[in-house]
């Protein structure tokens, strides 16, 4: 046995870990410094010369990172709101208040068997959920969340939204046809009929906004509604807002228009034969669609990121932590320690039987809550985009709640009622709204 082998055997587990990790960290540190000196300037110069491309890739990455958490949040809200409406507790075991229940639903799909039915078209069957999911998340690219916080400000943003949203019907048809199941085929055909029917009044409902704003850019639409809630387009286009809400609900296959997967009639419709993560893509796409439709309604009719009253208030702040210099580093080291001790002191004094480590743990948690709230308040006052994002998300999730409320309240309609309502009522009313808007603008001389 060599000297190195004997030395290695004499080391405990921590020593062996240090022997392996320390040289690795040295090599990584050396590589990082070398990359910063040689590679980083080249990358920075290349990025500066191609800012539009860099912005596009950053936007796409951010959208992909935001999509899944959005689906989890909407899914959790649906579980809790429906439980509240039905006088139940809802999920409360997986974490505090069951907040991770939707996350574990996603993990459950990952471990489920991904089954391919006999005689199914494997290629089309696999790509159908991908098409539906991409059709949902691609809409995020033009949604303006706050001033300057959007992927791309297209001058044909409205046209892009409806063009991309129409791809959903292609994915559902692919899934229904490729499953080689009569219930799936019926669900796919229902989705095609439903979406084609409601796509027309949905598109016509926002043409009045184009006439009012003179642009199809979503950012321009929001900017034209700045001021107060009286400037929102919902007051100038109340009929258009109602038509958009009904037609968008049908487009998203949400109750009471969830005829494409009506379990009491066609088992699960287009998704009957899907399992595992292929079903998971459909599952995520549905909840992402709920958020997107709510966000689009907020953008079109509820002022987008604008506040419902004149903003900002007289109170404003322009605080630059960078001005503190080395004091910022000292504050970051000292303030958490002092804050933890201050918040832990009442628990340690009032409850003498409580171990000190528990009091410190509670104090640390309370300090972090206060620190996060303070940082958010500073950002809210100092940055315009934080204010805009706050109002946008508040309005959007209010509409998400209404979507869930509708699911727990209204029964599913029949397919003939669904189709008749679109062609006999929504389409004529949408045309009337368009003609009235155009006539009013002509009379007003605009």
Q: Strand, helix or coil at 146?
A: strand
Residue 314's pLDDT is 45
DSSP-derived secondary structure for 235-292: HH-HHHHHHHHHHHHHHTT-TTS-GGG-HHHHTTGGGTT--HHHHHHHHHHHHHHHHH
Where do we find the tokens 């184009």? 210
For residues 389 and 372, what is the distance between their CA atoms, to the nearest angstrom? 17
Lowest mean pLDDT segment, chosen from 2-16, 239-253, 325-339: 2-16
Average pLDDT, the chain: 80
For residues 440 and 437, what is the distance between their CA atoms, to the nearest angstrom? 5
Under the banding of pLDDT at 50, 70 and 90, the label for residue 134 is confident
Residues 82 and 404: beta-carbon distance below 8 Å: yes
Joined tokens for residue 35: 């990359």
CA angle 284, 393, 411 (to 5 degrees): 55
| Of 120, 106, 110, residue with least CA distance to 175 | 120
Q: Is the pLDDT of residue 14 over 70?
A: no
Joined tokens for residue 196: 């084609």
Residues 287 and 71: beta-carbon distance below 8 Å: yes
Q: Is the pLDDT of residue 218 over 70?
A: yes
Domain boundaries, the chain: 66-311+406-444, 321-382
Residues 224 and 217: beta-carbon distance below 8 Å: no
Q: Is the pLDDT of residue 395 over 90?
A: yes
Q: What is the pTM of this model?
A: 0.80
Lowest mean pLDDT segment, chosen from 25-29, 40-44, 354-358: 40-44
Residue 326's pLDDT is 62
| Of 208, 299, 192, residue with least CA distance to 250 | 192
Calculate mean pLDDT across residues 284-305: 90
For residues 109 and 276, what is the distance between their CA atoms, to the nearest angstrom? 5
Helices then strands, counting H and E runs in the chain, come out as 19, 0
Under the banding of pLDDT at 50, 70 and 90, the label for residue 11 is low
Residue 332's pLDDT is 67
Residue 13's pLDDT is 62
Residue 294's pLDDT is 92
Percent of the chain having pLDDT more than 70? 85
Joined tokens for residue 284: 């995520």
């Amino acid at each position: 046995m060599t000297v190195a082998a004997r030395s290695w055997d004499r080391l405990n587990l921590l020593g062996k870990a240090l022997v392996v990790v320390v040289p690795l960290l040295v090599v990584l540190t050396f590589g990082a410094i070398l990359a910063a000196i040689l590679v980083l300037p080249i990358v920075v110069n290349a990025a500066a010369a191609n800012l539009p491309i860099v912005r596009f890739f950053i936007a796409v990455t951010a959208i992909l990172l935001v999509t899944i958490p959005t689906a989890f949040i909407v899914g959790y809200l649906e579980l809790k709101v429906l439980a509240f409406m039905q006088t139940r507790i809802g999920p409360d075991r997986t974490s505090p208040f069951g907040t991770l229940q939707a996350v574990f639903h996603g993990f459950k799909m990952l471990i489920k068997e991904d089954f391919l039915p006999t005689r199914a078209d494997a290629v089309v069957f696999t790509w159908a959920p991908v098409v539906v999911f991409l059709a949902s998340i691609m809409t995020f690219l033009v949604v303006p969340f706050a001033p300057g916080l959007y992927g791309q400000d297209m001058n044909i943003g409205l046209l892009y939204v409806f063009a991309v949203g129409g791809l959903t019907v292609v994915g559902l048809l692919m899934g229904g046809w490729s499953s080689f199941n009569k219930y799936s085929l019926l669900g796919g055909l229902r989705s095609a009929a439903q979406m084609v029917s409601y796509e027309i009044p949905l598109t016509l409902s926002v043409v009045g906004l184009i006439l009012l704003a003179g642009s199809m850019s979503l950012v321009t639409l929001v900017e034209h509604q700045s001021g107060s809630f009286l400037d929102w387009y919902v007051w100038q286009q109340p009929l258009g807002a109602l038509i958009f809400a009904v037609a968008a609900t049908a487009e998203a296959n949400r109750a009471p228009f969830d005829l494409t997967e009506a379990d009491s009639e066609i088992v699960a419709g287009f998704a009957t034969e899907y399992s595992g993560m292929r079903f998971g893509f459909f599952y995520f796409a549905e909840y992402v669609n709920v958020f997107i439709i709510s966000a689009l309604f907020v953008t079109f009719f509820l002022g987008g990121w604008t506040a419902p009253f004149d903003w900002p208030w007289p109170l404003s702040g322009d605080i630059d932590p960078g001005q503190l210099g080395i004091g910022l580093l000292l504050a970051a080291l000292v303030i958490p320690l002092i804050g933890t001790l201050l918040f832990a002191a009442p628990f340690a004094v009032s409850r003498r039987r409580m171990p000190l480590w528990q009091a410190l743990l509670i104090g640390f948690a309370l300090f972090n809550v206060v620190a996060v709230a303070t940082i958010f308040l500073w950002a809210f006052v100092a940055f315009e985009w934080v204010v805009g994002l706050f109002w946008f998300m508040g309005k959007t999730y209010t509409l998400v709640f209404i979507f869930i409320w509708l699911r727990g309240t209204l029964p599913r309609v029949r397919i003939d009622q669904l189709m008749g309502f679109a062609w006999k009522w929504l389409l004529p009313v949408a045309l009337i709204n368009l003609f009235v808007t155009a006539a009013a603008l002509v009379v007003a001389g605009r």
